Structure 1
Amino acid sequence: MMRWTRRLFTAGLLAAPFLAHAADPAATAPPGASPGPTATAALPDAAQVGAYVRKLFDDQKLAADGPGVVVLVARGDQLLYQGARGMASIELGVPLAPDQRFRIGSVTKQFASATLLKLIDQGRAQLDDPLSKYLPDYPQGDGITLRQLLNHTSGVKSYTGIPGYMNNPIRRELDTRQLIAEFKDQPVDFKPGERYAYNNSGYVLVGAVIEAITGKTWHQAIQEQVLAPAGLQQIVYPGEDRIVPRMAAGYSLDRDAGLTIAGLLSMTQPQAAGALVSDAQDLWRWNRALHGGKLLSPAMYEQMITPQGAAKAAGYGFGITAGTLRGEPKLEHGGGIHGFSSRLIYLPRSGTSIVLLRNTDGPGFNMGMAGTKLAAYVIGKPYPELVPVSQTAEQLQAYVGPYQQQADANAKREIQLQDGKLRWLRQGRPILTLVPIGPDRLGMDGNVGLVKVERKADGAVAALVFFGQGGEPGETGERWVR
């Protein structure tokens, strides 16, 4: 998933002992939260969830003496686990605590979206209003709707994608008008509504619309419209000089430079696209309030979680990505910003919340895979562990060669045999290692995907079928032919 982020990384961290505390399963529920479903014997309990989180940390070799991760798991109002591994401040030798605060990056979009939708619920705007109604001077603003800003189909140029912008330009302190001036005259990427493209400029404009409607700053409006009604006090806008208690330090990890202090940026620039700070418990409380019907009308909430039009294929609603996990509905958003990354997941069928917060923007702990595996485990549908089977060099060599996607002849991949391991080479994407796990079955190291091998009558490999969620029933495979 694309996020408010600076760059992509591919390296990892060293292993170290676990430092965390497991939450009391009888811990106090979020204020005002509605009751969640009753846990059944088939679902893992607090002790089992804690053990599974520790295993995820160990499997990914998350170090206790480097940047770390906070994880929270809840089922409805029951807090199953909250713990941490790593350091909040490497310089000061301060271990990461479960209640510390992090920049949440693009998870901010969920709060901005809910705020604008609440204003629409109040009759102060409409989803299909043109942008020009609120920003009369914005170029071609009469052809862009609020709906298109919310679901990334506006075609507006994303300022974080302007060449060179994420270097020194991102360090400048800008108000909303000045920030909009950075991208408003850029050529559009496509006609509004024509297609989907994740877009940080769109949410800066959402923030500007909120300001135009309320007469307050975007973050003041978020505070008044959604945070205060939900009783959330740990989610704040840090601005440039605000002291945020229990704030973890942010780090970057680069394959060339190694571990460094996070790159500088002015927090005025992420704006409503990514500038909020939170701890894990308030993100859990946010899930309970938003998805529990505490903030929006049922009709507006349904629009928020339902992808429409050009955004439908991408599964993007308004500040929420809607998909499935092991056959169950899943609502989520991720975030990446200088020094931090985050992931917030909600599974409505069981009322499950998964929160992951990390104080580095570099390689190492795979937030996406960890969140997916953890969520599947908590709902009682865990992904099977990869158990490699031995194959001869000749058997491995049979998979080697170029492949193209059956539905798109221009989509090409290649399997190579390197140092006795199968490598799946994908242009512009990280290399995957394929692991034999049974007859004509390959798992993906560091991924939940599964590959099924199709053979010709003579036994030669004819095609590979990829299942992104491990080949669960009902999932359509992506076929790649030789």
Structure 2
Amino acid sequence: MNRILFTILLLLTATCFSQNNSGSKPIDLNRKGLEQTIDNYVQKFIDLDIFSGVVLIARDGNPFYQKAFGLADRDKNIPNTLNTKFDIGSMNKTFTKIIILQLAAADKLNLDNTLGKYLDGFEPQAANKITINHLLHHQSGYGDYHSPDFFDLPKSQKTIAGILPGIRKMNLMFEPGTDQAYSNTGYILLGAIIEKVTGKSYHQNVKERIVDKLGLKNTYLENKYQVPDRAIGYFKDTKGRIHDNNGFLEIPNPDGGFQSTAEDILKFYHSFYYDTLLLSTKARKLDPAFKFYEELKNSDRATGQAGGFEGANTALFEIIRDRLSVIVFANMDEPVAEQLGGGILAILRNENPKDPSLPARQSVYKAYKNKGIEYVREHFDALTENFHPSDPRDLILNSVGYDLMSDGDLDDALQIFRLNTQLFPEIANCWDSYGEALRNKGDNKAALEAYKKALEIRPDLPSSVQAVKELSN
């Protein structure tokens, strides 16, 4: 199949990061040596060259620890500062969610209304069965719109209006309301509904209803290239070569892409969790997440929000009982912000944090080159610890294989793809990618068998359908 350029699966979750601590005392930020311990821990990530960015720790909205690390622009040697703006990724979804809840509380829309009440052109299964609640909670059945067709669109069409025609053609993965699957598509649709209901652009709604109301003077909603003091995102390929992400997600949308500072996001989420400036009591009752947040007032468990893609990762950990916020902004690969933030959370609890490791793709490639394919097979789980837990693990070797194939290392790529089919034999894409490598090698007979295996698992996989048709003639 075509190489997946990048995956945007970042979280909009209410996640618990600790258990059985309901009787513990509030976290002590005055503990001797705490700042130095955090500094030392951050340095471990810097030494592996997997983190640059900002770390902010605050109590009740007041920063206790606030430092910038590394470079915002490696070519120009410009350092990150506390005023550097970072791509916040899927944290945008919280902005979108707030506006939907505001409109529902004002009786401008009903969360149980269906998609077809607001947007036309959808098949009946979507128009008549998907509700706004389904879209909010990733239960619509829609997957991700980040397909090759989307990436081929001109920049001017990577907007809500430009994305909608492609969404109308998408098939649902399941009956709306019967399952849950993370969906950037759902939040594009919520943005379109906001525009329909208010008669204003999505971005204007965010500005008037959130940014201006909170005085977020360092939060930018549109063209990222016009944002002053913007961090350029950096990611590494399989062989550890570094690339910038300037061509990614050029237009912010309801599912991701705003630029902001850690301090502005602290102010935003502090209001989201603790006051009624953005969300009235009525609005909060419309979302079951706030019932969960109430339960956390008697526990030191943390809820979290995160966002990211290649070269950008942001994470917030919030201990509601203590009104304690840990925010990490990184202009490097996910899931470094979540890992670093989780480790800092452990330090604040006087626990031992987990040491960082190389990203999964680099770790696998290094082990393969130094110790061979059997070592990778036997130690796959240990080698791939540094991989986002929400992403399918078959993507790791698939990405390594395509990196090797693009570099002309076809024999190495074949070994990697073959191993992926052995570790994940039930995943059609693994067989599809293996078939592509075999075909590039000239072994059409074996390639055809691999493609047929993919179609046994997923009969409608377009790349395998086309390949079988071509190889059978």
Q: TM-score, normalised by structure 2?
A: 0.65
User: CA separation of 1:56/1:212 partners in 2, compared to 1, >3 Å: closer, same or farther?
Assistant: same
- Give the Cα separation in 2 of the matches to 1:361 and 1:250: 8
Instruction: State the match for 1:312 in structure 2.
Output: none
Counting aligned pairs with the same residue, the percent is 22
Q: Give, in angstroms, the shift of residue 386 of structure 1.
A: 7.0
Contact 2:235–2:244 under 8 Å retained in 1: yes
- Give the Cα separation in 1 of the matches to 2:290 and 2:150: 29
- Which sits farther off after the overlay, 129-138 or 421-430? 421-430
Instruction: State the match for 1:213 in structure 2.
Output: 197
What are the Cα deviations for residues 316-375 of structure 1, in whole angstroms up to 9, with x where unaligned? x9xxx999899534322211135311112222111111111111236xx72222212222
Instruction: State the match for 1:334 in structure 2.
Output: 306
Q: Give, in angstroms, the shift of residue 275 of structure 1.
A: 2.1
Instruction: State the match for 1:383 in structure 2.
Output: 351
CA RMSD of aligned residues (A): 3.6
Please tell me whether residue 367 in structure 1 is matched to residue 351 in structure 2.
no
Instruction: State the match for 2:272 in structure 1.
Output: 290
- The one-letter code of the counterpart of 1:335 is G
- Give the Cα separation in 2 of the matches to 1:339 and 1:62: 17
User: CA separation of 1:322/1:383 partners in 2, compared to 1, >3 Å: closer, same or farther?
Assistant: farther
Instruction: State the match for 1:55 in structure 2.
Output: 40
Please tell me whether residue 358 in structure 1 is matched to residue 330 in structure 2.
yes
Secondary structure of 2:318's aligned partner: strand
Instruction: State the match for 1:277 in structure 2.
Output: 259
Q: Give, in angstroms, the shift of residue 102 of structure 1.
A: 0.6
- Give the Cα separation in 1 of the matches to 2:295 and 2:199: 36
Q: Give, in angstroms, the shift of residue 143 of structure 1.
A: 1.1
- Give the Cα separation in 2 of the matches to 1:322 and 1:262: 39
Please tell me whether residue 255 in structure 1 is matched to residue 221 in structure 2.
no
- Give the Cα separation in 2 of the matches to 1:237 and 1:385: 35
- The one-letter code of the counterpart of 2:278 is L
Higher-helix-fraction structure: 2
What are the Cα deviations for residues 233-266 of structure 1, in whole angstroms up to 9, with x where unaligned? 222213265x212211222211236111215135
Could you tell me which runs of 5 or more consecutive residues in structure 2 were left unpaired when the two chains were aligned.
9-24, 356-375, 386-391, 398-473
What are the Cα deviations for residues 88-109 of structure 1, in whole angstroms up to 9, with x where unaligned? 1111111111221011110110
Please tell me whether residue 347 in structure 1 is matched to residue 319 in structure 2.
yes
Instruction: State the match for 1:230 in structure 2.
Output: 214
Query: In the TM superposition, what are the counterparts of 1:77-156 in structure 2 within 5 Å?
Result: 77-140=61-124, 141-156=127-142
- Give the Cα separation in 1 of the matches to 2:165 and 2:199: 20
Instruction: State the match for 2:161 in structure 1.
Output: 177
Contact 1:105–1:276 under 8 Å retained in 2: yes
- Give the Cα separation in 1 of the matches to 2:377 and 2:351: 24
What are the Cα deviations for residues 55-108 of structure 1, in whole angstroms up to 9, with x where unaligned? 2212324468x8612111101133101101110111111111122101111011
- Give the Cα separation in 2 of the matches to 1:427 and 1:122: 43
Instruction: State the match for 1:43 in structure 2.
Output: 28
User: CA separation of 1:41/1:137 partners in 2, compared to 1, >3 Å: closer, same or farther?
Assistant: closer
- The one-letter code of the counterpart of 2:35 is G
- The one-letter code of the counterpart of 2:303 is L
Instruction: State the match for 1:244 in structure 2.
Output: 227
Secondary structure of 1:222's aligned partner: helix
Q: Give, in angstroms, the shift of residue 115 of structure 1.
A: 1.1
Contact 1:342–1:357 under 8 Å retained in 2: yes
Q: Give, in angstroms, the shift of residue 166 of structure 1.
A: 6.7
User: CA separation of 1:424/1:210 partners in 2, compared to 1, >3 Å: closer, same or farther?
Assistant: closer
- Give the Cα separation in 1 of the matches to 2:26 and 2:138: 42
- Give the Cα separation in 2 of the matches to 1:46 and 1:137: 59
- The one-letter code of the counterpart of 2:345 is A
- The one-letter code of the counterpart of 1:214 is T
Instruction: State the match for 1:200 in structure 2.
Output: 184
Where relative contact order (Cα < 8 A, 6+ residues apart) is larger, the structure is 2
User: CA separation of 1:94/1:148 partners in 2, compared to 1, >3 Å: closer, same or farther?
Assistant: same
Q: Give, in angstroms, the shift of residue 281 of structure 1.
A: 0.3
Contact 2:53–2:68 under 8 Å retained in 1: yes
- The one-letter code of the counterpart of 2:394 is G
- Give the Cα separation in 1 of the matches to 2:175 and 2:154: 27
Contact 2:272–2:279 under 8 Å retained in 1: yes
Secondary structure of 2:102's aligned partner: helix
Instruction: State the match for 1:441 in structure 2.
Output: none
- Give the Cα separation in 2 of the matches to 1:369 and 1:322: 26
- Give the Cα separation in 2 of the matches to 1:165 and 1:47: 55
- The one-letter code of the counterpart of 2:236 is L
Q: Give, in angstroms, the shift of residue 384 of structure 1.
A: 2.8
User: CA separation of 1:169/1:49 partners in 2, compared to 1, >3 Å: closer, same or farther?
Assistant: farther
Secondary structure of 1:209's aligned partner: helix
User: CA separation of 1:44/1:429 partners in 2, compared to 1, >3 Å: closer, same or farther?
Assistant: farther
Contact 1:373–1:382 under 8 Å retained in 2: no
- Give the Cα separation in 1 of the matches to 2:262 and 2:157: 28
Secondary structure of 2:191's aligned partner: helix
Q: Give, in angstroms, the shift of residue 299 of structure 1.
A: 4.1
- The one-letter code of the counterpart of 2:347 is Y
Question: How many corresponding residue pairs?
Answer: 349
Contact 1:46–1:81 under 8 Å retained in 2: no
User: CA separation of 1:223/1:136 partners in 2, compared to 1, >3 Å: closer, same or farther?
Assistant: same
